[in-house]
Structures are given as C-alpha cells and as structure tokens.
C-alpha cells in the first residue's frame, strides 16, 4: 500500500548495513591498534636464573615483550617498565603433568564425586587450578575428570574469562568394565565419574574418537588396576594391547597423544607395545620395561606424591582401607622402579596426581622434594618440571625454558633451588604470558 515508505525502509536498512560494515572494519582496525598499544615491554632486573641447560646464571635481566620473552641479557638498557626482582632466582613456569581438578585431597574421593553436582565440581576445579597457578604451576595436564569440566575450564582460561594455568586435558579416562575408573556401582545405578567404560577394539576406537571430539588433548587409558579403585589390584593388566592400539592410533591420527595409567609390569608393556606416549605411575617396572620405554622414548610420570600421602595419613585420616593396604604393598617397589628408570635414562616428567588423598593443589612442589629424596639430581627434578614436561605435553616450542620467543611463563624463588629443592614450595613470583599473578 505504501511503496515509498517501504523503499525508504529499504534504503535505511541498506545504509545501516553499509554503515555497520564500515564500522566493523573500523572497529577491527581499532582493536588491532589498541592491542599493539597495550603490548608493553617489561624488564625484570636484579635476578639470577636457571637457563635451558640447567645452569645457574647470576645477575641477569629478562626483557618481556607482550606475552613473550624478548631477551635475556646482563645489560638491559631500554626504556620500559622495570620490576626489581630482589635477587630472586627465576625459573620457567612449572608444569605438573598429572592432576585431577575436581578433587583436592579429600580422604575418599569417590564419596565426594558421588555427592557433588557437576557445576559444584567445576567451581572446585577452577579454585584448584588457580591454586596450582599461584604455586608456580603455570601449566597443568589434567588426566581425567568429570563431564568435560577440564575442557570447559581450559577454554574459559584461554579466552581470558578466568585466571588459571595453561592446560592440556584428557576429558574422561577410558576404562574397561570392572577396571580402574569403573565405579563398581550396583546394577541400575549409573554415574559417570572420571572415566567412561569401553570394551573391545570397536568400543575403544569409538571412545577415543569421542574424547577427541569433545576436546581432549590426550587420550587417557587405564592399562592396569590401581590403588584408589576398590575392586582391582595395581598389578593386574586391564585393556589388551589391541584395544589400546586403536585408541592410541586415533589420538595420533588427530595429532594428539595418549597416556596410560599403568602400574603392573604386563599392563605397562602392553601399553608400550601399543604405542603409548607416557606411562603414568609405572609401579612395577622391570629391566625389560625400562629398556622398552627408553627405546621408544616413552615418558614416565611417577606421581610419587599420591602414594606418599596415602601412606603418611593412613586409615586414621579416613582413607579407605583398600587404598592404604595396596599403598603399603607397592610403595617400596614404586620408588625402586622410578629410580631404575631414571638411572637408565628413561625420560621423566613430573606429575603429582593432585586430588588423591591429602595430595593438594598448591602443594604440587612436594613431588620435586620426593624425587630428590629418591635420588634424582635437583637439576633433573627441575628439568622434569619444566623442559621435559613441556616436551611430554608437545608444547616445547612454546614453554618449558627461558629463551627468546617463548611465552613469558616465569616463576621466582628466594635462593638457589639447585641447592635446596624445597624452595620451590614457596614461590614468590608468578608470571604467565607476561602477566604477573603473584609477587611477594
């Protein structure tokens, strides 16, 4: 009925689209300019540092440009914001290669898991991850958690919505029926905990594909029984080699990696033959297993803290009888396997298994102390928590050493951790991607 008005509306609509496109272009330009504008240089002065080869260098400066390290020098004479590092020792941001986020050392994790709502678990995971960061762990690898909360949290941190560490995640761990990760509930009671159940080659392939689809960086497989699972024994093999092979193949096809919870000798060897990238725990390693790991470049993430704290606190503190009993049976063997592998030159990465009983987020550096007490050189304990951890995570081009062009992930302690590894339990300064999260 009213063509001129319609035309006017059309014109107005057209103009508004044009305008918004121009505005959009203008806006994008503004964003890039302002990003350039906030990209600031910071000079950290008056510090010692541990370099990429584990050498202790005195009286250095580090120039940070935006999110990256620009230069390490003795003479930083540029005009930029300066932070006096009080003579502290600066190291690369630490990496904990084995944590679970929704728990924080409760004596009986399974009860806590059954009671918490998934959103509650996610909020707890956020607090725990933040405590890892403030303790100097600028990167963590999450090895199984509920309902993809690790994937969601990783994304929220990457998008700048929340403060937290850099994360590599596995989604849910894959376990066999009745395996480590199966909750052993009565028929009719369904609950999806840290794990999903799969049996046989086809189900394993599908389960791995599903984890990868949901955002897993690692596929986590339960190759043997464990300490914290009621119905199995650490020594028993669980997934067969052919079952693991297909899941690992799927991870590798996607450019990702695979890790096996593997405690008993046979299960460890099955996982290695199937192509695994890391053995978690590795309690019963014989010489052949050690040799196989060495030949194939498989990492060992021993998680000494898990066993140590169960033994230390015991049944009196509410830890289930079965976990205490199994810990007592395997503890000596665990340490001797770890030492055998380390001395033979197997690649090691530091992981705590934080969330297991009394193994708390924020106290992750206890693991380095246990490693050194077991006979690891302090410099190697530090490498396992920085450079070698980054290699396991496939992030060594980005993090793990203090070098130009790497992310400015740095921590500082008072004194020389090569002389006293426990200094890492008291981190004074935390920077992640050029942003300071702690300085005392």
Residue range at the interface with Zn ion (CB under 5 A); choices 185-193, 316-324, 337-345, 348-356: 348-356
CB contact at 8 A, 53 and 373: no
Using CA atoms, how far apart are residues 238 and 275, in angstroms rounded to an integer? 16
CB nearer to Zn ion: give 96 or 407. 96
From the CB of 169, what's the least distance to Zn ion, in Å?
13
Cα 47–Cα 52–Cα 54 angle in degrees, nearest 5: 75
The reply to whether 353 sits near Zn ion by the rule CB under 5 A is: yes
Q: Which segment (119-127, 162-170, 346-354, 403-411) binds Zn ion by CB under 5 A?
A: 346-354
User: Which residues within the stretch 313-342 sit at the binding site for Zn ion (CB under 5 A)?
Assistant: none
Conformational region of residue 11, where left means phi above 0, alpha means psi within -120 to 50, and beta covers everything else: alpha
Nearer to Zn ion, 326 or 406 (CB): 326
Stretch of residues binding Zn ion (CB under 5 A), selected from 83-91, 117-125, 202-210, 351-359: 351-359
- Shortest Å, Cβ 440 to Zn ion: 31
Q: Which stretch binds Zn ion (CB under 5 A): 89-97, 140-148, 360-368, 376-384?
A: 140-148
Per-residue exposure over 109-146, b if at least 16 CB sit within 10 Å of its own CB, e if not: bbebbeebeeeebbebbbebbbbbbbbbbbbbbbbbbb
Query: Residue 21 CB, nearest distance to Zn ion (Å)?
Result: 51
Per CB under 5 A, does 110 bind Zn ion?
no
Of 45-53, 135-143, 217-225, 235-243, the window that binds Zn ion (rule: CB under 5 A) is: 135-143
- Does residue 39 sit in helix, strand or coil? coil
CB of 39 to Zn ion, least distance (A): 38
Measured from the CB atom, the residue of 353 and 407 that comes closer to Zn ion is 353
Provide the minimum distance between the beta carbon of 146 and Zn ion in the complex, in angstroms, as a whole number. 13
Interface size with Zn ion, residues (CB under 5 A)? 2
Which residue number, 110 or 409, has a Cβ lying nearer to Zn ion? 110
Q: Which of 170, 144, 40, 49 is nearest to 354 (CA)?
A: 144
Q: With 0-12 CB in 10 A as exposed, 13-18 as middle and 19+ as buried, what is 85?
A: buried
| Residue nearer to Zn ion on the CB measure, 85 or 169 | 169
CB of 353 to Zn ion, least distance (A): 4
C-beta of residue 194 within 8 angstroms of C-beta of residue 181: yes
**Residue linked to tokens 């590894």:** 421
| Per-residue CA distances from 366 to 219, 232, 324, 372, 426 (Å) | 27, 28, 20, 10, 11
Residue in the shown chain whose Cβ atom is closest to Zn ion? 353
How far from 157 is each of 166, 173, 352, CA to CA, in Å? 8, 22, 22
Write the DSSP symbol of residue 267. Answer: H
- Cβ proximity to Zn ion, 277 vs 353, nearer residue: 353
Positions in the binding site for Zn ion (CB under 5 A): 143, 353
């Amino acid at each position: 009925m009213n063509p001129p008005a319609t035309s006017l509306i059309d014109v107005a609509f057209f103009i508004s689209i044009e305008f918004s496109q121009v505005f959009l272009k203008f806006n994008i330009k503004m964003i890039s300019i302002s990003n350039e504008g906030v990209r600031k240089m910071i000079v950290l002065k008056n510090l010692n540092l541990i370099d990429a080869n584990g050498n202790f260098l005195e009286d250095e400066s580090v120039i940070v440009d935006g999110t990256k390290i620009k230069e390490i020098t003795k003479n930083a004479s540029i005009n930029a914001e300066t932070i006096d590092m009080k003579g502290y020792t600066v190291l690369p941001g630490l990496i904990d290669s084995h944590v679970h986020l929704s728990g924080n050392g409760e004596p009986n994790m399974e009860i806590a898991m059954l009671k918490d709502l998934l959103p509650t678990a996610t909020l707890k995971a956020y607090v725990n991850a933040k405590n890892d960061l403030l303790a100097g762990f600028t990167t963590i690898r999450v090895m199984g958690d509920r309902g993809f909360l690790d994937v969601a949290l990783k994304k929220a941190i990457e998008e700048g919505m929340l403060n937290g560490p850099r994360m590599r995640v596995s989604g849910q761990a894959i376990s066999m029926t009745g395996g480590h990760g199966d909750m052993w509930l009565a028929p009719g009671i369904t609950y999806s905990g840290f794990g999903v159940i799969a049996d046989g080659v086809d189900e394993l392939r599908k389960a791995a594909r599903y984890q990868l689809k949901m955002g897993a960086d690692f596929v986590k497989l339960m190759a043997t029984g464990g300490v914290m699972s009621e119905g199995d024994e650490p020594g028993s093999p669980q997934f067969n080699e052919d079952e693991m092979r297909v899941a690992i193949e799927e991870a590798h096809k996607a450019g990702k990696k695979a890790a096996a919870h593997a405690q008993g000798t046979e299960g460890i060897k099955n996982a290695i033959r199937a192509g695994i990238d890391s053995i978690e725990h590795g309690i019963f390693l014989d010489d052949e297993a050690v040799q196989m790991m060495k030949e194939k470049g498989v990492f060992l993430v021993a998680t000494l803290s898990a066993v140590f704290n169960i033994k230390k606190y015991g049944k009196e503190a509410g830890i289930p009888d079965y976990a205490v009993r199994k810990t007592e049976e395997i503890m000596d063997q665990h340490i001797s396997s770890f030492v055998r592998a380390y001395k033979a030159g197997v690649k090691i990465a530091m992981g705590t298994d934080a969330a297991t009983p009394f193994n708390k987020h924020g106290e992750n550096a206890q693991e380095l102390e246990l490693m050194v007490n077991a006979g690891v050189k302090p410099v190697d304990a530090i490498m396992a928590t920085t450079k070698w951890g980054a290699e396991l995570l496939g992030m060594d081009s980005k993090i793990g050493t203090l070098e130009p062009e790497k992310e400015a992930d740095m921590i500082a302690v008072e004194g020389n951790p090569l002389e006293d590894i426990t200094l890492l339990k008291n981190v004074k300064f935390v920077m992640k991607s050029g942003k300071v999260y702690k300085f005392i």
